A and B are shown apart, each in its own frame.
Chain A
Amino acid sequence: MDSTILTTVIMLGLLAATLAVILYIVAQKFKVVEDERIGETESILPGANCGGCGYTGCRAFAEALVKADDISAMFCPVGGNTTMTKIAEYLDKLVETKDSEIAVVRCLGSCENRPRVNEFDGAASCAVMAATYSGDTDCSYGCLGKGDCVSVCNFGAIRINSETLLPEVDEDKCTACGACVKSCPKLIIELRKKGPKSRRIYVSCINKDKGAVARKVCKTACIGCAACRKACAFESIEIENFLAYIDPNKCRLCRKCVEVCPTGSIVELNFPPRKPKVEPQEPKANVVNTETVTN
């Protein structure tokens, strides 16, 4: 009886010892030497795995950061400059600081401004809708409002306003990862410079039709009248295909263009209220939007 137990213990002990030796040899032979900096770098990254950097996740981005000699073109939009500077210090490489960005929805076609002319009965997806036809309004450029941008956002930073049926970006949550930009079949969402104190001005329309056509289908469409370009003292506004675009790098946030826009398609965000004498000129639609978005 005793001997059976003893034999078993010895046998198992020997077996364990042999296997341990084999495992040790194998482990030594096939050892994967991983740069420990990858793990460290990953821990500095926000860990959102959003793909905003262009890599599949934070780990892949960390690997790329460690491997690359020049990381100046790489950027983590979620972590922003603080994270990138930390990484640069840790890896002893150079990074370029970038202005922080935010997603802006360039459409003001609410139910009131842009009447719905038909009803879409198919799958609730902007991609499906865009592939099927021009949309449930007469504007073939504007927002379809089915919320593809909402479903791809990892940060819950975008939602559809139930009154206007347009997406709204939450400034505090948006990390400028660009997922919504890629998901929008109409290319309405743009990543723009956040601006000092989050103040920014942009043309909230992408309708490239002639002015008369655009105006007919939407009250707040950009009609390409060039009033904003004339008003701009810094040559920051360009008009192409009857559509104005404000270059965020040239714009000095003087708000002159907002005042002159006849359709109210230029949006100003997070500015203090104007002095009373200028107030009456401010287009109506703008006020509504500024309030809703800043909320």
Chain B
Amino acid sequence: MIKTFKKGGVHPPENKISRNAALEQLVPEGIIQIFISQHIGAPAECIVAKGDKVKVGQLIAKANGFVSANVHSSVSGTVLGIENVADYQGIKKPAICIQVEGDEWDENIDRSPEINRDLSKTSEEILAKITEAGLVGLGGATFPTHVKLSIPKGKTAKAIIINGAECEPYLTSDHRVMLEKGEELLIGVQLLKKVVNVDKAYIGIETNKQDAIDNLKKLAANYSGIEIVSLKPKYPQGGEKQLIKSITGLEVPDRALPIETGCIVSNICTTLAVYEAVQKNKPLFENSVTITGKNLNVQKNFIVRVGTPLTQLINAIGGMPENTGKVISGGPMMGRAINNLNAPTLKGSGAVLFITKEESKRGTKSNCIRCSKCVAACPIGLLPFLLYKLAERNMLEDLKENSVHACIECGCCLYTCPANLPLVDYIRLGKTRAMKLIVKQK
């Protein structure tokens, strides 16, 4: 049975043109820059100094507090120092700069191609390994994984949900991982189940990736308690709340965490990283990145080391196509335009998308005609047209009353709006401001 969520959602063209490109390693050259804050929470504390020699997988910045994550070197070479480096959006943040010299890995990392099926580790050991490896959610939010897996007191988890929906158009890196690293993924799922002490796991996959569903179904026969769920292709199927609703039928209450429903949602790449961290001792220093665009001659799915300059990724596909109007980090719906092409990649970078000049521009803005298409499209059940106006006028109390905090910024409203109003721009701004007000009032 194909499952889905009912409320809202849109059907943008899929454009998964890079779906057949197998994963490829991309080894960086020259100088790489690794941000010390690649996650939600406190920035990590740098523990290397200028002139230090580092190996691939060596700890270079230590987690600072519980809600924080370790950062490891993704290359071997010499540390050039800590500098303020501009990120994708041109905002400067401290980063550790390393001159690449060879590709020497830390001895503890198991680089053999054999799959380690040993599941004898206790849940504490697994969690310790995950914390040590600096794992963060690779779906985009980069929330430290060990925090997510530490269930608050008084709550119990009932199931793990693995998010293989990959509902954003263009993106295919999760798809490739499911096809090429299926078994590793399933072992990762078993490890996650053990950490949170549940015996049921679901992997939700949209039916536009039928080959991945078949592959995982075949493999899952050897593992107990893993169910592959076919999901209807619909955006935002991979939203945490939407996925829980689709698979279990449970609704995450307003202002509550998904654990209220007993579900813990993890991304495909994160689950693979769990396998690698626990079974192969490999910290999180690389991630699969889709490089795609209608105007590219080659479509690629790279495994990219964290901190690789974007220019190297662009060179690897033969340079930037001439009629590129916009480069986006992430998918076209939620991704953000990149204005600094010299920026290094992050742990959470999942895709680099090239948009042609003709498609990059927004339509001309006109007036709201109250057609309520945005209301119908909102998967949360908010009133985007109202929130937009309230945010524009900075009416924070009213924004709060109208549950602006629940907005997941999925962009469905903007996608459907016939008047091309910058709905998400303002709602995001209003949300940030209203959240500050809510925190203040507490």
A residues contacting B by CB (< 8 A) are 117-118, 121-123, 125, 127-128, 131-136, 138, 140
Contact = CB atoms under 8 A, between A and B. Distances in A.
Contacts of A121: 360-362
Contact of B425 (A123, A134, A136): A123
7 contacts: A121-B360, A121-B361, A122-B362, A125-B426, A128-B426, A133-B89, A134-B89
B422 A128 contact: yes
A134 B426 contact: no
Interface string B77-90: 00000000010011
Contacts of B86: 134, 140
B429 A131 contact: yes
Contact of B91 (A117, A127, A134, A138): A134
Nearest to B88: A133
B90 A127 contact: no
Given A121-B361, A122-B422, A123-B422, A131 B90 contact: no
A140 B90 contact: yes
Contact of B90 (A125, A128, A138): A138
10 pairs of A and B residues whose beta carbons are closest in the complex? A134-B90, A123-B422, A133-B89, A123-B425, A128-B425, A122-B425, A118-B339, A121-B362, A128-B429, A134-B91
Contacts of B362: 121-122
Contacts of B339: 117-118, 133-134, 136
B16 interface: no
A132 B426 contact: no
Chain A binding site: helix, strand, loop or mixed by DSSP?
loop
A131 B360 CA distance: 20
Contacts of A123: 422, 425-426
Interface string B83-115: 000100111100000000000000000000000
Contacts of B89: 132-134
Given A121-B360, A133-B91, A133-B336, 12 more contacts: A117-B339, A122-B422, A122-B425, A125-B425, A125-B426, A125-B429, A128-B425, A131-B429, A134-B339, A136-B339, A140-B86, A140-B92
Contacts of B90: 133-135, 138, 140
A122 B337 CA distance: 11
A133 B338 CA distance: 9
Contacts of B422: 122-123, 128
Contacts of B92: 140
Contacts of A132: 89, 336, 425
B248 interface: no
B200 interface: no
B428 interface: yes
Contacts of B428: 128, 131
A127 B392 CA distance: 10
A121 B420 CA distance: 12
B215 interface: no
B62 to A, nearest CB: 28
Interface string B354-366: 0000001110000
A136 B422 CA distance: 18
B325 to A, nearest CB: 9
**Which one of B360, B422, B425, B428 has the greatest number of beta carbons of chain A within 10 Å?**
B425
A229 B362 CA distance: 48
A140 B92 CA distance: 9
A121 B364 CA distance: 10
B20 interface: no
Nearest to A128: B425
Contacts of B425: 122-123, 125, 128, 132
A121 B86 CA distance: 21
Contacts of A117: 339
A140 B86 CA distance: 10
Nearest to A118: B339
Nearest to B326: A121
A132 B360 CA distance: 17
A127 B361 contact: no
Nearest to B92: A140
B84 to A, nearest CB: 9
Contacts of B429: 125, 127-128, 131
Contacts of B337: 133
Interface in B315-341: 336-337, 339-340
